[in-house]
Amino acid sequence: MREIHHFINGASHPGRSGRFGDVFNPSTGAVQARVQLATADELDLAVQAAARAQIGWAATNPQRRARVMFEFKRLLEARMTELAELLSSEHGKVVADSKGDLQRGLEVIEFACGIPHALKGEYTEGAGPGIDVYSMRQPIGVGAGITPFNFPAMIPMWMFGVAIATGNSFILKPSERDPSVPVRLAELMMEAGAPAGVLNVVHGDKVAVDAILDHPLIRGVSFVGSSDIANYVYARGAQNGKRVQAMGGAKNHGVILPDADMTQAVKDISGAAFGSAGERCMALPVVVPVGKKTADEFRERMVAEIETLKVGVSTDAAAHYGPVVSAAHRDRIAGYIQMGVDEGAELVVDGRGFAMQGYEDGFYIGPSLFDQVKPTMQSYQDEIFGPVLQMVRADSLEEAIALPSKHQYGNGVAIFTQNGRAARDFAAAVDVGMVGINVPIPVPVAYHTFGGWKRSAFGDTNQHGMEGVKFWTKVKTVTARWPDPQLDGHADSSFVIPTMK
Ligand code: NAD
């Protein structure tokens, strides 16, 4: 069986822990490889290599570092199809969607190509008599990223793209469920000219994560995954004096006002709810039509739309979405559908029991639609992370704003309307970090910044854009005076705090 090794100091590194994780092909249900799970010692090996490499890398001028990013982008684009197929084979999403995963990551690499501009500091001439003040951004040192299964290319690139361009070295601990593409990304970074040790990949589970959180040489940790683990990572990392950003789960709402273009809203919400089998933190699993007429029309049209959806193997170019990541996850989703039924919601379309002919062991589940979902239901409060759309009816815009605002998660939200004033009020009032106006998946472009609120993010700095640059660098401020003793004489000692009076 194929074995997926760590990638440390520029080379494949066979682990010695004797512990492995199974890597499935979700389309067939078969185990296709096993991935090594690191010990704390193996993590330390990577950290030592990263710490050695970081010194020279930080001293490399930013333009040269940017050139590595340019070359990485070129190499990745040349291998896009091969990488997308590899990604799909471990994740289950359709190949076109895997290309989107890679492309979204590449857009952060494009941002990182402009890093010399982003790293420019500030300068004040004459802040006092003969005194100039300037600030500079310096890399934090060795950074680490812990990433989820659902975007095995994009999320690592969100992190290492900015961290490495700003002069840090990096340890990536990708999801053990789809670990192959992250290794390929590290290999391509070496091919692009990054020195050995600048990007390392250490596979693992809680043992590796805890080793990252406790390692004294790792200065910053970026995490993306489910909220309980995000909270744990944030608390333990911060307790150990590290800078930590930890993105968590989500339950994004799509509000439809009565004046919305319903044809477009149904298409947008179908793609956002069922694309990638709902395994996206920016999926739209809750729809909130305002008013009975809007709700009844939406329901009728969505049922018809669902009938047109094709679930297929990840290589089927005609499929809208593929299998979910594991049998356990499929069963968990089915469990939530049953919970919704038991709680009294109306199951309009039931995706359970879906089977793919010829792929009976694959992890497939059909699309489901619930109506009459109430905010008190557990199946509404929890993140299901599957192809399940829950409809919560609201009577007013105020009620529609209150639903996502009061929800424990606050990642993304969308409103569908032709009323600019209502959209503006909604965007201003809603207690959620990323808002779409007639945009179902409001993932900001790479030069803006990504991050949710409430239990969707712990820590206060977002991913990529200037927020990413801030996270991976620390500011040093220099106050400089060059007096001429011949001209200026010597100042007396001062025992009070210097002021600008
Ligand atoms: P997960 O929390 O199970 O795993 C994320 C990472 O944590 C993995 O690398 C995993 O190995 C590690 N991990 C798992 N259990 C651990 C433990 N007990 N202790 C320490 N580390 C542990 O998440 P997942 O299932 O891979 O990904 C799906 C989740 O990620 C969803 O909740 C989704 O909403 C979230 N997500 C959030 C964002 C965002 O930006 N907010 C983006 C993508 C995914």
Summarised one tens digit per residue, pLDDT across range 369-378 is: 999 999 999 9
Q: Ligand 1 atom closest to Cα of 226? A: 32
Give pLDDT, residue 487.
Answer: 85
Give pLDDT, residue 276.
Answer: 97
Q: What residue type is 17 in one-letter code?
A: S
Q: What residue type is 253 in one-letter code?
A: H
Identify the helix (H) or strand (E) that includes residue 230. helix 227-239
Give pLDDT, residue 130.
Answer: 87
Q: Taking the alpha carbons of 17, 19, 25, 28 in that order, is the dihedral positive or negative?
A: positive
Q: How confident is the model at residue 501 (pLDDT cuts 50, 70, 90)?
A: confident
Copy the structure tokens of residue 313. 């193997």
Q: How confident is the model at residue 248 (pLDDT cuts 50, 70, 90)?
A: very high
CA of 455 to the centre of ligand 1 (A): 13
Q: Ligand 1 atom closest to Cα of 151? A: 43
CA of 175 to the centre of ligand 1 (A): 8
- Interval 323-342 mean pLDDT: 98
Q: Which of 50, 45, 47, 49 is nearest to 16 (CA)?
A: 45
Give pLDDT, residue 292.
Answer: 98
Contacts of 6 by beta carbon, 8 Å cutoff, 6+ apart = 12, 13, 14, 15, 36, 38, 42, 46, 200, 201, 202, 203
Q: How many CA atoms lie within 13 A of 420 on its CB side?
A: 0
CA of 335 to the centre of ligand 1 (A): 20
- Interval 195-219 mean pLDDT: 98
The position carrying tokens 């990413």 is 468
Q: Which of 154, 159, 205 to mutate to test the pocket of ligand 1 (most atoms within 8 A of CB)?
A: 205
CA of 4 to the centre of ligand 1 (A): 20
Q: Please provide the average confidence, as pLDDT, over all residues in the chain.
A: 97
Q: Taking the alpha carbons of 156, 333, 26, 212 in that order, is the dihedral positive or negative?
A: positive
- Interval 271-288 mean pLDDT: 98
The position carrying tokens 């990577």 is 46
| Residue 224 contacts residue 209 (beta carbons within 8 Å) | no
Q: How confident is the model at residue 498 (pLDDT cuts 50, 70, 90)?
A: confident
Give pLDDT, residue 18.
Answer: 95
List Cα–Cα distances, 420 to 143, 402, 423, 426, in angstroms. 43, 19, 5, 10
Q: Ligand 1 atom closest to Cα of 452? A: 41
353 has a pLDDT exceeding 90: no
Give pLDDT, residue 202.
Answer: 98
Beta-strand relationship, 434-437 and 412-416: parallel
| Residue 289 contacts residue 295 (beta carbons within 8 Å) | yes
35 has a pLDDT exceeding 80: yes
Query: Measuring from atom 19 of ligand 1, which residue has the nearest CA?
Result: 206
Domains detected in the chain: 2-248+456-478 (3.40.605.10), 253-437 (3.40.309.10)
List Cα–Cα distances, 229 to 223, 237, 457, 487, in angstroms. 9, 12, 11, 62
- The question of whether 113 is a catalytic residue gets the answer no
The position carrying tokens 């005076």 is 481
Q: Compute how many other C-beta atoms are within 10 angstroms of the C-beta atom of residue 395.
A: 11
* Residues contacting ligand 1 via CB (< 6 Å): 146-151, 173, 175-176, 205-206, 209, 224-226, 229, 247-250, 281, 383, 385, 411, 452, 456
Q: Ligand 1 atom closest to Cα of 451? A: 40
Query: Measuring from atom 16 of ligand 1, which residue has the nearest CA?
Result: 206
- Interval 105-125 mean pLDDT: 97
499 has a pLDDT exceeding 90: no
Q: How confident is the model at residue 31 (pLDDT cuts 50, 70, 90)?
A: very high
Q: How confident is the model at residue 451 (pLDDT cuts 50, 70, 90)?
A: very high
CA of 229 to the centre of ligand 1 (A): 7
Identify the helix (H) or strand (E) that includes residue 406. helix 397-406
| Residue 96 contacts residue 317 (beta carbons within 8 Å) | yes
- Interval 50-63 mean pLDDT: 98
Query: Measuring from atom 18 of ligand 1, which residue has the nearest CA?
Result: 206
Catalytic residue among 281, 284, 334, 446: 281
CA-to-CA distance for 56 and 359, rounded, in angstroms? 51
Identify the helix (H) or strand (E) that includes residue 146. strand 142-146
Rg, C-alpha atoms of the chain: 25
Q: How confident is the model at residue 85 (pLDDT cuts 50, 70, 90)?
A: very high
Beta-strand relationship, 30-36 and 20-25: antiparallel
Give pLDDT, residue 129.
Answer: 86
| Residue 8 contacts residue 202 (beta carbons within 8 Å) | yes
Copy the structure tokens of residue 9. 């100091």
Edge-to-edge strands of the sheet including 434-437? 346-349, 368-371, 388-391, 286-289, 253-256, 412-416, 434-437
122 has a pLDDT exceeding 90: yes
List Cα–Cα distances, 251 to 30, 198, 269, 411, in angstroms. 30, 36, 14, 7
pLDDT above 90 as % of the chain: 96
